[in-house]
Amino acid sequence: ILGPMTPLERKRLDYHPEIPSLFKNGVFQIAPAKAPHPDLRSLFPRTMDQKAFRLVPGKPHFAPPRRVGVLFSGGPAAGGHNVIAALCDGVGELIGFLNGADGLVRDEWKKLSPDVVAPYRNQGGFDLIGTGRTKIETPEQLKAAQETCRKHQLDGLVIIGGDDSNTNAAVLAEYFLEEHCSTRVIGVPKTIDGDLRSAEIELSFGFDSATKTYAEIIGNIARDAGSARKYYHFIKLMGRSASHITLECALATQPNVALIGEEGLTLPQIVHKLVDVIERRAAAGKNYGVILIPEGLAEFIPNLEGPRDPHGNLQVSQIETDQLLIGEVKKKLKLDKWFPQGHFLGYEGRCCLPTNFDAKYAYVLGCLAAMAIRDRLTGLICSVQHLRKSVEQWQCTLVPIVGLMHFEKRLGKPKPVIAKTLVDLKGEPFTSFVKKRGEWEVQDAYRHPGPIQFFGGAELTDTVPLTL
Ligand code: FBP
């Protein structure tokens, strides 16, 4: 499907993501793992007491896993193709299931030989094999998935996904053990939302590229706002329930207001806040501004309903929260003239060329998944810690997925799922934002980060997310 590559895409093929040397001279050592919720025992009897496995110096064995399957699940995130590239480099034969878990259930796949993977190295998107949001839960789906893995004699299956997709990975790992199917299942943390975060998982890949893309556009809009001096830009940002993306973009661009859903303000309180800032700015002669709105704000507004995905999540990207707020603010404002503009930044950040950070991080996650399958591990998710430090200092561990799960009401029923992590209102990223935001309301302090850079000094090309 690919058209001729642009010069930049071609140049990115030459980028070689760095990996910690422990992948050449390391082995897994058992490490303590978080105790899972006791009520999960009946659902995960075989994977419940799993330990974690940390990569430490040691004498490695080099026999790679023979056959591995891989699939993307959920929304795209930049870096995904590098997980596949690392698997392709680290396993005997790789096949990719098409369009997410559906490909596994329906046995729709394609061979991922080095030639096929080559043009996708360091490129954005998930278009090599596609993705989907199917939840594997019925006995028929589980059986079909197992039959596919047996038919292809897979040593391992790698599921690249967010919280719901890694819940799928845990369910499959348990089921395969129960059915004596020898395919091992390993999860890789992906999502631009940044909500697959915990003491065990520092960040998912894709967050850095998405937020840098949005921050570039917000910075440009802010400069337009300060130039034209007549518009109020209400910018809704993707990120489902959690406001991590909005917080990261706020720290990067310093808008006049950035709403954080987790603060729990009611709709009237939000409208009151916005009207107050707009009127104070008007009194200072400024009839323009930039306001960031997390799409997940919709989840915090009581009685606001909308469509839900197969996992039971409210599809907040389809709710026009920016327009809702513009309408409510307009009703309360006492200004003669006021020109709001609504924007939605979401899909434009999921498939960009990955930043160096995401290109490296995703490649390392793929190396870790290949090694886990080689060592016959299952029901674990790849975790890389110390991401702020140099790649050589990254600490690579496999963590039991069951330990990250809790019970949540989905479509009216309690379901075991990985908990989405919201913005920590006591954490350093949020508290440092709170210290500054008052200054940004009337006095313009916009920052303009500009586009993602791939060439130049490391201070341009290798920055890490500010919220890290
Ligand atoms: P994942 O959690 O699957 O990575 O998806 C994230 C996301 O991009 C959200 O930010 C957004 O609300 C949602 O996907 C949009 O879903 P869809 O792609 O189905 O429109």
Give pLDDT tens digits for 452-466. Answer: 999 999 999 999 999
pLDDT confidence of residue 415 = 86
Query: In angstroms, what is the span from residue 447 Cα to ligand 1's centroid?
Result: 27
* pLDDT the model gives residue 40: 93
Of 131, 205, 209, 240, the one to substitute when testing ligand 1's pocket (max ligand atoms within 8 A of C-beta) is: 240
pLDDT of residue 301: 72
Ligand 1 site residues, Cβ closer than 6 angstroms = 74-75, 77, 162, 191-193, 238-240, 295, 316-317, 350
Task: List beta partners, residue 292.
Answer: 235, 258
Rounded to the nearest whole angstrom, what is the distance from the C-alpha of residue 413 to the centroid of ligand 1?
22
pLDDT confidence band for 419 (50 / 70 / 90): confident
Task: Evaluate whether 153 touches 67 at the Cβ level (below 8 Å).
Answer: yes
Task: Specify the ligand 1 atom closest to the Cα of 190.
Answer: 4
At residue 428, the 3 state secondary structure works out as helix
Q: What is the chain's mean pLDDT, rounded?
A: 94
The DSSP output letter for 310 is: T
Written as one letter, the residue type at 406 is H
Query: Percent of the chain at pLDDT above 70?
Result: 97
Q: What is the pLDDT of residues 153-176, one digit of tens each?
A: 999 999 999 998 999 999 999 999
User: Which residues are marked as active site?
Assistant: 193
pLDDT given at position 279: 97
Q: Cα(346) to centroid of ligand 1, in Å?
A: 9
Residue 86: which of 57, 119, 56, 114 has the closest Cα?
Answer: 114
Task: For a ligand 1 pocket test, name from 166, 191, 421 the mutation site with the most ligand atoms within 8 angstroms of its C-beta.
Answer: 191
pLDDT at 2 over 80: no
Band of residue 305 on the pLDDT scale cut at 50, 70, 90: low
Q: Which helix (H) or strand (E) holds 381?
A: strand 380-385
Q: Which of 99-113, 173-187, 324-338 has the lowest mean pLDDT?
A: 324-338
Average pLDDT on 248-269 reads: 96
Tokens of 420: 């989405």
Using 50, 70 and 90 to split pLDDT, how confident is the model at 354?
very high
At residue 304, does pLDDT exceed 90?
A: no
Residue 319 banded pLDDT, cuts 50, 70, 90: confident
Identify any residues that bridge with 94 across adjacent strands, giving them in sequence order: 68
Q: How far apart are CA 377 and CA 17, in angstroms?
A: 25
End-to-end CA distance of the chain: 36
Q: What is the C-alpha separation between 73 and 99, in angstroms, rounded?
A: 8
For ligand 1, atom 8, the nearest C-alpha belongs to 75
Give nearest CA residue, ligand 1 atom 15: 317
pLDDT for the residue 100: 97
Dump pLDDT digits (tens) for 40-65: 999 999 999 999 999 999 988 768 77
Q: What is the pLDDT of residues 393-408, one digit of tens each?
A: 999 999 999 999 999 8
pLDDT digits (tens, 9 = 90+) for 90-113: 999 999 999 999 999 999 999 999
CA–CA separation, 352 and 347 (whole Å): 10
Cβ atoms of residues 171 and 199 within 8 Å: no
The amino acid that residue 143 corresponds to is K
Closest C-alpha to ligand 1, atom 17: 75
Over residues 301-321, mean pLDDT: 72
CA 233 / ligand 1 centre spacing (Å) = 23
Task: Locate the ligand 1 atom nearest the alpha carbon of residue 245 and give its number.
Answer: 10
CA distance 195 to 299: 15
How many angstroms separate the CA atoms of 188 and 176, rounded? 18
Compute, in angstroms, the gap from residue 373 CA to the centroid of ligand 1: 28
Locate the ligand 1 atom nearest the alpha carbon of residue 238 and give its number. Answer: 10
* Residue 9 confidence (pLDDT) above 60: yes
Which distant-in-sequence residues (6+ apart) come within 8 Å of 440 by Cβ?
254, 255, 256, 257
Q: Whose C-alpha lies nearest to ligand 1, atom 20?
A: 317
pLDDT at 314 over 80: no
- Residue 152 structure tokens: 């292809």
Q: Are 354 and 190 in contact (CB under 8 A)?
A: no
> How far does residue 278's CA lie from ligand 1's centre (Å)?
31
For 166, how many CA atoms within 13 A lie in the half-sphere containing its CB? 31
Q: Please give the residue that has the higher pLDDT: either 166 or 299.
A: 166
The pLDDT > 90 percentage for the chain reads 85
Nearest CA to ligand 1 atom 7: 75
Residue nearest atom 1 of ligand 1, based on CA coordinates? 75
Q: For 221, phi and psi rounded to 5 degrees?
A: -65, -40
Residue 302's pLDDT is 66
Work out the average pLDDT over 219-223. Answer: 98
pLDDT at 408: 87
Q: What is the pLDDT of residue 183?
A: 98
How does residue 1 score in pLDDT terms, banded at 50, 70 and 90? low
* Index of the ligand 1 atom closest to the CA of residue 191: 4
pLDDT at res. 265: 92
Q: What amino acid is encoded at 134 in this protein?
A: T
Q: What does the alpha-carbon distance between residue 307 and residue 295 come to, in Å, rounded to a whole number?
A: 14
